[in-house]
Amino acid sequence: MSGALDKMQLFYRVAHAINASLKQEDTLQAILRAVRETPGAQAVVIRLLNPNADALEVAASIDVSPALLAHTPARLVNDRVHQRVLAGETVFLKPGADPADATSLDLPGKLLAAEGIGSLLIVPLQVRSRTFGALDLYCAAGFDFDAETTLLVRAIADMAATAIENARLHATLLNIARAVTSSLELHQLLDQVLAATVLQMNLKAASVRLLDKGGKRLELVAAHGLSDRYLSKGPILVAQSAIDRRVLAGESVALSDVAETPGFQYPAEAQAEGIHSVLAVPLQAKARIVGVMRVYSAQPRPFTAVGTEFLLSVAGIVAVAIENAKLYQALQARYDDLRLDVSEWYRFLSLG
């Protein structure tokens, strides 16, 4: 009974700790300190999927030696265990008992033995069926996770994933708000907004396109994370892009696989760029849609209602910022014209 009570108290401490801050760094450190109290835990690592979806990079760790961290990031091509975890599986390994386990982790068995690590419990960090990281518990030799402790760690990982996601979304909105208020120069402003969105949402890239005066083309005004080759692939013609026509009509469109989606322009070029999933939302200023904002993921990504609503919020900020920047540019041009007129009048009067 006391063991069950201890686990409940630990669960409470974890919940209290990770809800104490909206800063991602503080959230990660709180998770590590709390999970370190799990029975049998010797060291803990939080790994997050990088934007290219080819590695799980160390975001935070506690009580892990530099020698062990030197073998990170965990390149997924050589890491069959974390591939399973990203598919949603919880994995328990005993590399000391089975050398094949260490090989599948792309970690030297001798290093694990020298660190006194006899087993590992690796749990997915998952929000709404989307896995974006892993919680790795390194345990002392001879320790075995029972079903109850495993369930506790999985519950903690679920809370941790939600807290990390909330911290990311909060940081994104904060960075975007700072970008919008820091400049009235349109291109500089959009570059900062897209960079913040890509970084905090763990995406590959993002772009903003505005309708031309004739309403026939979507002209690129800003992009982040996309190659020149992809950006020069050809024009985005509204008549030839069924996806963009839906977005310009006010719909948010999520594409799980662009290579298999009818109506998506340039699918081969997108595949060559390493783009797998896309979310496109309208840029709407007041009641008028002025363009399209897209975000791109290198991995299969089911964009949920929460993610879509968040990007719509970002797009709304971007649309207002674009209108403000255009107004500023128009006022600046008018001011320059008036100053020139006054200068001409002074010259005329001086000649008279």
Domains, the chain: 2-165 (3.30.450.40), 183-340 (3.30.450.40)
Q: In a 3-state reduction of DSSP, which class is residue 124?
A: strand
Is the pLDDT at 275 greater than 50? The verdict is: yes
Is the pLDDT at 74 greater than 80? The verdict is: no
Is the pLDDT at 1 greater than 50? The verdict is: no
Q: What percent of the chain has pLDDT over 90?
A: 25
CA 266/CA 298 separation, integer angstroms: 16
Phi-psi region of 234 (alpha: psi -120 to 50; beta: other; left: phi over 0): left
User: For residue 57, what is the enclosing H or E element?
Assistant: strand 55-62
pLDDT computed for residue 3 by the predictor: 65
What stretches of the chain show up as alpha helix (H) in DSSP?
A: 2-18, 24-35, 66-69, 80-86, 99-104, 109-114, 147-182, 186-201, 228-231, 242-248, 267-272, 305-351
Strand partners of residue 140: 117
pLDDT computed for residue 250 by the predictor: 94
Strand partners of residue 122: 91, 136
How many residues in total does the chain contain? 352
Confidence of residue 226 (pLDDT cuts 50, 70, 90): very high
Helix axes 24-35, 2-18, angle to 10 degrees: 170
Dihedral sign of CA atoms 228, 232, 235, 241 in order: negative
Phi, psi of 56 (to 5 degrees): -100, 110
pLDDT computed for residue 204 by the predictor: 92
Strand partners of residue 220: 209
CA 348/CA 336 separation, integer angstroms: 18
Residue type, 79: D
| 115-160 per-position pLDDT tens digit | 788 888 999 998 877 888 999 998 887 777 778 888 888 888 888 8
User: pTM of the full predicted structure?
Assistant: 0.64
CA 53/CA 45 separation, integer angstroms: 18
Q: What angle do CA 83, 26, 317 make, to 5 degrees?
A: 85
Q: What percent of the chain has pLDDT over 70?
A: 79
Query: Between the ranges 140-144, 172-176, 200-204, 291-295, where is the mean pLDDT highest?
Result: 291-295
DSSP state of 264: -
| 32-59 per-position pLDDT tens digit | 888 888 777 888 999 988 877 788 888 8
pLDDT computed for residue 82 by the predictor: 87
Query: What does the pLDDT average to over 305-309?
Result: 80
